[in-house]
């Protein structure tokens, strides 16, 4: 399933998408945001705004770790990070950045998967 929560979705659809998330902790965070949106009377809009904020925080955290670890970040890779809207990818990159010594280590799996898709593997 490639659907993502959006402002126009009804609460049942949003809840279903959240329940399909594999990570229990992430599911719980999204459920809490959805409930807060329901309390405020605009669950879809609130959840979409909450997701945007979460993604922006993930990006900021990742950039801060790369800077603190003094890992060079060329413009193309900075754009790759700042334009990413996949919180799972940002979380993976962040966890890798905590121990990585190069940017290649941060992006390793995604780069290998892209090569495999192009090669038909």
- Count CA within 13 A, CB hemisphere, residue 9: 18
CB 34 within 8 A of CB 18: yes
Which residue from 51, 62, 52, 65 is spatially nearest to 21, judged by alpha carbons? 51
Q: Which two tokens stand for residue 96?
A: 């890798």
Extended strands (E) in the chain: none
Q: What is the pLDDT along the chain (121 residues), one digit of tens a residue?
A: 445 666 677 888 888 888 887 778 888 988 999 899 999 998 888 888 998 998 999 999 999 999 999 999 999 999 999 999 988 899 999 999 999 999 999 998 765 544 444 455 5
* DSSP 8-state class, residue 22: S
**Could you report how far apart the first and last alpha carbons of the chain are, in Å?**
21
């Amino acid at each position: 399933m490639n659907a993502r929560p959006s402002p126009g979705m009804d609460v049942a659809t949003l809840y279903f998408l959240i329940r399909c998330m594999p990570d229990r902790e992430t599911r719980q965070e999204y459920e809490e945001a959805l409930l807060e949106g329901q309390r405020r009377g605009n669950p879809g809009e609130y959840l979409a705004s909450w997701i945007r904020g979460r993604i922006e925080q993930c990006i900021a955290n990742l950039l801060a770790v790369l800077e603190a670890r003094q890992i060079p970040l060329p413009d193309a890779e900075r754009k790759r990070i700042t334009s990413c809207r996949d919180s799972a990818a940002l979380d993976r990159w962040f966890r890798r950045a905590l121990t990585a010594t190069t940017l290649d280590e941060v992006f390793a799996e995604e780069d290998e998967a892209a090569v495999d898709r192009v090669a038909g593997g």
